[in-house]
Amino acid sequence: MPSTITAEKSAWRKSVREFPLSDDERSRSDALLIAQFLRLPQLKSCDSILLYYGIAPEPDTKQLLEPLQAMGKQVFLPVCLPNRQMEARQYCGSTRLSPGSFHIPEPCEGCPSVKPNDLSLILVPALCCDSHGYRLGHGGGYYDRYLSSYSGLSVALCRDALLTPSLPVEPHDKPVDLILTETRCLSFFPEKRSGAAPRFSCRRSVSAAAVVTATAASTAIVAATATVVAAPAAATAADQDDDDQDDPAATAAPTIVPTAHKNFTSFII
């Protein structure tokens, strides 16, 4: 039998996948998220970056491939391996991509691979995120396993409308360091989790006029951030979180409603 937390995560995924967003709204949201990432101050010092090839309802992150290469960055994409393992393989152009295990383009064999801690930054997939730095993925557990061997900067993109105060979380779930929305950078410093000194911070890096422009554009997409009431998490092993096959016994999909958030450090970038 699936755990209660597994059922809750499946319900969340169903709700996010059904969230109403027109093609135009999605495109405008994607453009703002991509712009936020490209002007992230920490990006300047990063030389090797693991992206993901976003599929709906995720942001269209393939728009980042060419700009990052033009900046001189080494860009890598994930490759799914047996036993729910993953490796980072260098992006060597669109002609060197082939459909992977989930029909998502992956770099072909022969493209160089790197170990997790050889990467400067990992952009982690997220259907939605919460105000504690946790994200909801597709449920395979690939990134939680991969992040357990990684100590660098982790970033997630999340639409303002899909940022919630709390998600169902299990012990193996790994929070990210930064969450970027269309209008904000949410920082979750390592010392809040481990007592270590902060490795980085977000600072204002655009003019007030640019912030107003981005905010106005985002307002056309979302009126507020979102929430749902989730039951307390039940402990389970990472290997049991195979929600990429949504459980038929899952709880009803949560209803996303507007709310406010105060549990994170928020900056405009």
Contact 264, 132 (CB under 8 A): yes
pLDDT of the residue at 227: 33
pLDDT of the residue at 189: 66
C-alpha 44/C-alpha 46 separation (Å) is 6
Helices then strands (H, E): number in the chain? 6, 16
Task: Quick: pLDDT tens for 104-126.
Answer: 899 998 899 999 999 999 999 99
0.85 surpassed by pTM = no
Task: Quick: pLDDT tens for 2-48.
Answer: 568 888 888 888 888 888 888 999 999 999 999 999 999 999 999 99
Instruction: Give me the half-sphere count of Cα atoms (radius 13 Å) on the Cβ side of residue 87.
Output: 13
C-alpha 143/C-alpha 26 separation (Å) is 25
For residues 58-84, average pLDDT: 94
pLDDT of the residue at 190: 56
